[in-house]
């Protein structure tokens, strides 16, 4: 879980008084640049360089649900912080419907954070600082003087990206939770709430609540394309659903809308990394 | 990403069936065989069809629910509410019609590709006499009920699924059901100035932020009013 290691390092560096032990843990990798590079290391490799290295096979298995929940916690931290700041920004004051929607979503995302922190226990970590400009690409809270109408559109675009990412990320972790039916069910119960959110935000933006092909939807900049990569898949379990019949239910559009695609840990982590403060 | 394969081994059922066929016993007297092998589905005995257990049971269960939804939207698009509805509502309901028919036919194909035809749920008959397809509120409230039920059903069935590839496919579908539920709720919420209904406290627990999850027995009891064809789910929770 590369993104998790990166986050842990950022947050722990600020708190710990023993930099040498941190350094030891990461071997010769001391620079932020190298830590950032770790974010690009595939899941399994990153895990092997971490504390889990010396773990037995059995306990390594047990870290699996934890890494899935940690990825979920990162995404929920992003969402919870984003909606709280959005509601606090004043940008929504002229948009009462959107404000009501954001309040409802904010309530859920905060609850998800608490739920995941509880489930993770000692394996939880504090929220890092996020950069919702994504390196200067957005000004969703109008902090940089962007007028409310434009900031509002950016608030919706970011919310759409976070929710559609959330749906795909939880879906991608489902098989990692199969050995723990209780956790799996909770993850599924969060997953479908993210999908409800995604649908509503998308419709608020004037586009369909479901994803056609791998389209980002009008107004969403190309930087968000990783959120929709492979969403145009039409083959599920070896069955190409466009070949199942004739007519509108089996068109490319319908066939891609009817199925949401999972996102790998790496792909979800890379999207989260766009919003890490550096 | 590596392509998931839905094809899984069903060696037990197929082998037994083939064995019985080649040995000629299949024609000999199914009553006796049923008693001997305790494998009633293979012979279509007098009892109602049972969905089965494990992956087969869940796939049959999902197929039943998708048949129900597809049939509902077929009737919606044949009603006068839909033909005279506002453009946005027409488009949403047509999309839902498209998606649910696609889901239904996917399960039919996937089941028949992986299991013997006689353990695959047949085409069901439904009774929608409680719904007025010429009335907007009747259609939208039933759509909300069906979509919310679909979400709870898939969320509750996840833990029964044994094969990862099937779990992922169920995941691909359930989030679309949730998108549907939110859209229908959003339209109904707009009517009553309740802009939070898309994920209202009646559907998503406000304390935990969790959607519903129910066992098949609960879902089938709730949806039973629409289903005419009798079947059982004795091997599912």
Report pLDDT digits (tens) over B15-71.
333 333 333 333 333 323 333 334 444 445 568 999 999 999 999 999 999 999 999
On whether the CB atoms of residues A231 and A167 are closer than 8 A, the answer is no
Length of chain B measured in residues: 237
The alpha-helical segments, DSSP class H, found in B122-163 are: 136-157
d(CA A258, CA B78) in angstroms, rounded, equals: 21
> Are residues B179 and A97, on separate chains, in Cβ contact within 8 Å?
no
Mean pLDDT of A233-254: 97
Alpha-carbon gap, residue B7 to B124, rounded angstroms:
25
Return the minimum-mean-pLDDT range out of A26-30, A84-88, B119-123, B189-193: A26-30
Residues of A in contact with B207 (CB under 8 A): 111
Name the band, by pLDDT with cuts 50, 70 and 90, for residue A63: low
Nearest to B98 among A194, A197, A254 (CB): A254
Asked if the Cβ–Cβ distance from A236 to B4 is below 8 Å, we say yes
pLDDT score at A4: 55
**How high is the pLDDT of residue A277?**
81
Is the per-residue pLDDT at A209 higher than 70?
Answer: yes
Q: How far apart are CA A128 and CA A12, in angstroms?
A: 10
Q: How confident is the model at residue A278, as a pLDDT?
A: 67
Sketch out chain B's domains with CATH numbers: 11-47 (no CATH), 49-232 (1.20.1260.10)
User: What ipTM was assigned to the predicted interfaces of this complex?
Assistant: 0.83
Contact B99 A257 (CB under 8 A): yes
B21 to chain A, minimum CA–CA distance in Å?
29
Ranges of each domain in chain A: 1-54, 64-273
- Which among A62, A72, A121, A105 has a CA at the least distance from the CA of A199? A105
Find the helix or strand (DSSP H, E) in which B50 lies: strand B49-50
**Chain centre distance of CA B138:** 21
State the Cα–Cα distance between residues A170 and A265, nearest whole angstrom.
9
Instruction: For the domain made up of A64-273, give the CATH fold.
Output: Ferritin (1.20.1260)
* CB A38, CB A46: distance < 8 Å: yes
Per-residue pLDDT band at A90 (split at 50, 70, 90): very high
The answer to whether A224 and B62 have CB atoms below 8 angstroms apart is no
Q: Which residues contact B26 (CB under 8 A, 6 or more apart)?
A: B17, B20, B33, B43
Shortest distance, CA B43 to any CA of chain A (angstroms):
28
- Check pLDDT > 80 for residue B176: yes
pLDDT at B214: 98
DSSP letters of chain A?
-HHHHHHHHHHHHHH-S-HHHHHHHTTT--SHHHHHHHTTS-HHHHHHHSGGGG--HHHHHHHHHHHHHHHHHHHHHHHHHHHHHHHHHSGGGG-HHHHHHHHHHHHHHHHHHHHHHHHHGGG------B-TTTTTT--TT-TTS--HHHHHHHHHHHHHHHHHHHHHHHHHHGGGGTT-HHHHHHHHHHHHHHHHHHHHHHHHTTS-SS--TT---TT--GGGGGGTTTTT--EETTEEGGGS-SSGGGSHHHHHHT-PPP--HHHHHHHHHTTB--
Confidence of residue A14 (pLDDT cuts 50, 70, 90): very low
Single out the residue of A174, A53, A163, A62 nearest to residue A120, CA to CA: A62
Report, as an integer, the average pLDDT of B94-116.
98
pLDDT for B16: 33
CA A202 from centre of chain: 17
pLDDT for res A5: 57
Give yes or no for residue A53 having a pLDDT over 70.
no
Max CA distance (Å), chain A = 66
Identify all chain B residues contacting A110, using CB atoms and an 8 Å cutoff: 209
Please state, as a whole number, how many other Cβ atoms lie within 10 Å of the Cβ of residue A53.
Answer: 9
**Chain B partners of A213 at a C-beta cutoff of 8 Å?**
none
What value does the mean pLDDT of chain B take? 86
- Residue B5's pLDDT is 36
Q: What is the pLDDT of residues A178-201, one digit of tens each?
A: 999 999 999 999 999 999 999 999
Cβ <8 Å between B95 and A208: yes
Query: Band of the pLDDT at A243, cuts 50, 70, 90?
Result: very high
| The pLDDT value given to residue A7 | 54
Residue whose C-alpha is closest to residue A4's, from A132, A169, A123? A123
Give the separation between CA A261 and CA A174, rounded to whole angstroms: 12
Q: What is the pLDDT of residue A65?
A: 77
Residues 6+ apart with CB under 8 A from B149: B65, B219, B222, B223
- Contact of B57 with B215, CB cutoff 8 Å: no
Q: What CA–CA distance (Å, rounded) separates B156 from B182? A: 19
The shortest CB-CB distance from B158 to any of A167, A185, A261 is to A185
% of chain B residues with pLDDT over 90: 80
Phi, psi of A229 (to 5 degrees): -65, 135
Q: Which residue in A110, A236, A255 is closest to B169 by CB distance?
A: A236
- Percent of chain A, pLDDT > 90? 75
Closest Cα in chain B, distance from residue A240 (Å): 9
pLDDT at A8 (0 to 100): 52
Where is B232: in which H helix or E strand?
strand B231-232
Write out chain A residues lying below 8 Å of B98, CB-based: 248-249, 251, 254, 257-258
Which residues of chain A are within 8 Å of residue B210 when distances are taken between CB atoms? 111, 115, 186, 189-190, 193
Closest CA to B60 of B101, B107, B123: B107
């Amino acid at each position: 879980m590369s993104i998790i290691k990166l986050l842990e390092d950022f947050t722990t560096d600020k708190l710990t008084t023993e930099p040498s032990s941190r350094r030891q843990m990461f071997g010769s990798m001391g620079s932020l640049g190298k830590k950032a590079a770790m974010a690009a290391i595939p899941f399994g490799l990153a895990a092997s360089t971490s504390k889990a290295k010396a773990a037995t096979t059995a306990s390594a298995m047990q870290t699996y649900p934890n890494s899935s929940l940690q990825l979920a916690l990162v995404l929920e931290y992003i969402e919870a912080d984003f909606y709280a700041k959005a509601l606090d920004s004043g940008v929504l004051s002229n948009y009462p419907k959107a404000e009501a929607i954001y309040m409802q979503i904010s309530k859920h995302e905060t609850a998800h954070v608490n739920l995941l922190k509880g489930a993770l226990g000692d394996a939880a970590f504090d929220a890092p600082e996020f950069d919702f400009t994504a390196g200067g690409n957005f000004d969703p809270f109008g902090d940089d003087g962007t007028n409310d109408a434009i900031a509002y559109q950016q608030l919706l675009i970011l919310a759409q990206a976070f929710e559609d990412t959330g749906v795909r990320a939880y879906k991608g972790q489902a098989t990692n939770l199969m050995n723990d039916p209780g956790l799996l069910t909770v993850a599924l119960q969060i997953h479908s709430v993210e999908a409800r959110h995604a649908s509503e935000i998308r419709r608020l933006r004037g586009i369909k609540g479901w994803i056609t092909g791998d389209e980002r939807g009008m107004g969403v900049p190309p930087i968000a394309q990783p959120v929709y990569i492979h969403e145009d898949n039409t083959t599920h379990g070896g069955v190409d659903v466009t070949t199942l019949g004739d007519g509108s239910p089996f068109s490319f559009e319908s066939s891609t809308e009817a199925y949401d695609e999972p996102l790998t840990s790496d792909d979800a982590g890379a999207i989260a990394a766009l919003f890490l403060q550096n | 990403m590596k392509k998931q394969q839905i094809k899984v081994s069903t060696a037990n059922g197929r082998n037994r069936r083939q064995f019985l066929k080649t040995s000629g016993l299949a024609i000999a007297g199914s009553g006796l065989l049923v008693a001997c092998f305790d494998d009633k589905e293979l012979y279509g005995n007098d009892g109602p069809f049972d969905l089965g257990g494990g992956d087969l049971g869940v796939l049959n269960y999902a197929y039943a629910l998708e048949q129900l939804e597809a049939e509902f939207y077929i009737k919606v698009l044949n009603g006068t509410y839909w033909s005279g509805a506002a453009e946005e509502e027409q488009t949403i309901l047509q999309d839902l019609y498209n998606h649910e028919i696609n889901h239904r036919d996917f399960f039919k194909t996937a089941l028949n590709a992986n299991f013997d035809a006689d353990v695959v749920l047949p085409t069901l008959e439904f009774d929608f006499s409680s719904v007025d397809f010429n009335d907007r509120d009747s259609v939208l409230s039933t759509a909300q009920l069906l979509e919310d039920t679909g979400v709870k059903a898939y969320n509750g069935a996840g833990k029964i699924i044994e094969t990862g590839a099937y779990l992922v496919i169920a995941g691909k579908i359930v989030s679309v059901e949730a998108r549907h539920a939110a859209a229908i709720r959003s339209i109904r919420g707009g009517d009553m100035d309740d802009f939070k209904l898309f994920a209202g406290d009646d559907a998503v627990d406000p304390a935990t932020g969790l959607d519903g999850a129910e066992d098949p027995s609960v879902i089938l009891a709730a949806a039973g009013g629409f289903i005419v064809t009798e079947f059982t789910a004795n091997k599912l929770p």
